[in-house]
Amino acid sequence: MSSTITTSAAERGLMDHGHLLEKEGDARLKFDRACQQIALLDQKIRDLEVRYKRAVKHKKNSFRYNLRLRLSVVTGVKMMYHHYASTKAEELSRIRRQISSTSQNSELSRESHSRTREQRSSSAAASHAELDIDC
């Protein structure tokens, strides 16, 4: 005798919605951490530029070379963090669209199309406003 576990479409929808919310939280956390690192790298670049200008002023060629190399490396790392953050922002937008569509689908099935078109357009406008993601 085999026992099969069946789940209704509503239960699967709730599990999917919960999974999407978890993925959104993870992506948001990673995006926020990348933005923090970008801010730290910006400060490090400013500090290195000050030190480089001081080395130029005092004609310290060996320091200039070393600082120029470090500036180059830190700037490259910052660019990679920008790329990573933009990837996470796109992922976050995609997940939020999925959450919005699953919540709209579940609302529509529960309410049997009781909401008016004006309410739908205002909620869509609100969800589009949430998608603006910046560091």
Buried b (16+ CB within 10 A) or exposed e, 95-106: bbebbbebeeeb
Dump pLDDT digits (tens) for 75-125.
Answer: 999 999 999 999 999 999 999 999 988 877 766 666 655 555 555 545 444
> Would you place residue 22 in the very low, low, confident or very high pLDDT band (cuts 50, 70, 90)?
very high
CA 37/CA 29 separation, integer angstroms: 12
Sketch the domain layout of the chain as residue ranges: 24-111
- The CA distance from 67 to 84, in Å, is 26
pLDDT of residue 55: 97
- Average of per-residue pLDDT across 35-64: 98
Distance, CA of 14 to CA of 127 (rounded, Å): 20
pLDDT-based confidence at residue 46 (cuts at 50, 70, 90): very high
Tell me whether residue 45 is exposed, middle or buried, using C-beta atoms within 10 angstroms of its C-beta: 0 to 12, 13 to 18, 19 or more: middle
Q: Which of 11-15, 72-76, 101-105, 127-131 has the lowest mean pLDDT?
A: 127-131
Residue 129 has pLDDT above 50, yes or no: no
Tell me, what's the pLDDT at 128? 43
* pLDDT score of 13: 62
C-alpha atoms less than 13 angstroms from C-alpha of 29 in its C-beta half-sphere: 6
Give 5's Cβ-side CA count (13 Å radius): 2
Q: How many CB atoms lie within 10 A of CB 70?
A: 15
